């Protein structure tokens, strides 16, 4: 009876890949991308830089300190927003590739058999 059970479960061995790919792999890819974008957002803090845009940098109230504060905070906000947008775009493209790569490869593998008919 054990041999039958083993033979029965061996038929479902290829489906373990799809279980890993779409359940566990997608979950870890989602969580990793979310944590990366959240960490980048907290590191660059673009909205905080925009909120404190006209506050002098390091408490320097001279006109040079005000100009340097505005320029540096504006630059950091723009770079932070751009970097976060690029990371999110790359993450979404990676998710799309992760979702559609196995069916595409499966199609490429089976396409010669369908061309015979």
Where along the chain do its domains lie? 27-115
Retrieve residue 104's tokens. Answer: 């595409």
pLDDT reported for residue 17:
78
Question: Residue 46's pLDDT is what?
Answer: 92
Over the Cα atoms of the chain, what is R_g? Answer: 26
- pLDDT score, position 117: 57
User: CB–CB of 69/57 below 8 Å?
Assistant: yes
User: With DSSP H G I counted as helix, E B as strand and the rest as coil, what are the percentages for the chain, rounded to 5?
Assistant: 90, 0, 10
Mean pLDDT by 10 residues, the chain (117 residues): 57 74 87 91 91 88 90 94 93 92 88 74
């Amino acid at each position: 009876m054990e041999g039958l059970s083993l033979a029965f479960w061996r038929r479902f061995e290829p489906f373990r890949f799809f279980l890993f790919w779409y359940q566990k792999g997608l979950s870890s890819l989602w969580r990793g991308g979310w944590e990366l974008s959240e960490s980048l957002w907290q590191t660059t803090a673009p909205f905080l830089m925009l909120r404190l845009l006209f506050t002098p940098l390091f408490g320097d109230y001279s006109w040079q300190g005000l100009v340097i504060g505005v320029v540096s905070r504006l630059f950091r906000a723009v770079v932070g927003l751009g970097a976060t947008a690029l990371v999110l775009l790359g993450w979404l493209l990676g998710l799309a590739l992760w979702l559609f790569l196995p069916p595409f490869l499966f199609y490429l593998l089976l396409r010669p058999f369908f061309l015979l008919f």
